Structure 1
């Protein structure tokens, strides 16, 4: 059975080097866009906030544990990231409809409006950036980027964590 090292040498290392470099450039450009670096402050929203608001919009109200599970992150991380969204009125904490003791997080009307503003601005940017692409090229890029993100997530969850130094 080939090892990971064998598999890497079997692949074109030049392509892998280009891929990792382009992913790094993409991450930088995405951060610049998030910060409104393309001249559209409406794009500006913390990545964690965008992902949390988007998940609540797509899946509806849910508890912290369910939200954390659906996003593949720790509950304490969700609690920390959602606190400013609650403070700013973009997310509401409400009682669970079946268990009044449990708390669910729900996208507020203000959060929905802000999320749509950011989505619209980013949608406009994506249209501009891919203006000279065919519909097939856009579809293919979306398919491949989705596949890449899924594979990257799976690889991250199977990578052994470094043990603390003793």
Structure 2
């Protein structure tokens, strides 16, 4: 793909798009899209994505978790440590290889994740209360597609496996989970 993408489309529209994406990234990070209600419902992006992945895919080792999220093992190890310390994630021995460690969402972790998901669903409902259902679906679809394009670009530039892009139907995409895939800087 050696095509100069800056010549594709209306430069004014592309300027507006990049500005709006930059604003979204900043506001999403500032609010952490933590939901509505009590402050206790906020959770940082890394914790949310780790807990969500363990819930969706089940118990797994650090390397598998890192690969599925498109980040390195040392990052997962660092990010999961406070989740283990607070009892949201359990470290257990692999059933077939007792030396290997498996990370698993604890019952407390699942409860906390559901609490945060519910709060974030309420926030997404509040922010889009005056949108038609089709507008929500279109926005979700386009944001998922945009995140996938970012993920694919990042992977093609040799920065490792593609990070978690959008999430599929029924897994929280319409509730704001997809918004949490904004790349960290």
Interval containing the TM-score (normalised by the shorter chain): 0.7 to 0.9
Between structure 1 and structure 2, the one with the greater Rg is 1
Please tell me whether the aligned partners of residues 94 and 101 of structure 2 are also in contact (alpha carbons under 8 angstroms). yes
Which blocks of at least 5 consecutive residues in structure 2 are unaligned?
160-185
Q: Normalised by the size of structure 2, how large is the TM-score?
A: 0.79
Alpha carbons of 1:40 and 1:32: their partners in 2 closer, same or farther (altered >3 Å)? farther
Q: Within 2, Cα distance between the matches of 1:95 and 1:37?
A: 35
* Partner in structure 2 of residue 154 of structure 1: 152
Aligned-pair CA distance for 1:40:
4.3
Which blocks of at least 5 consecutive residues in structure 1 are unaligned?
162-166
Task: Kindly indicate whether residue 60 of structure 2 is the aligned counterpart of residue 94 of structure 1.
Answer: no
Aligned-pair CA distance for 1:38:
6.4
Q: Within 1, Cα distance between the matches of 2:143 and 2:19?
A: 15
* Partner in structure 1 of residue 136 of structure 2: 138
Alignment: residue pair count: 159
Q: Normalised by the size of structure 1, how large is the TM-score?
A: 0.88
* Partner in structure 1 of residue 56 of structure 2: 58
Q: Within 2, Cα distance between the matches of 1:37 and 1:144?
A: 22
> Which structure is higher in RCO with an 8 Å CA cutoff and minimum separation 6?
2
Aligned-pair CA distance for 1:117:
0.9
Aligned-pair CA distance for 1:9:
1.7
Please tell me whether the aligned partners of residues 34 and 43 of structure 1 are also in contact (alpha carbons under 8 angstroms). no
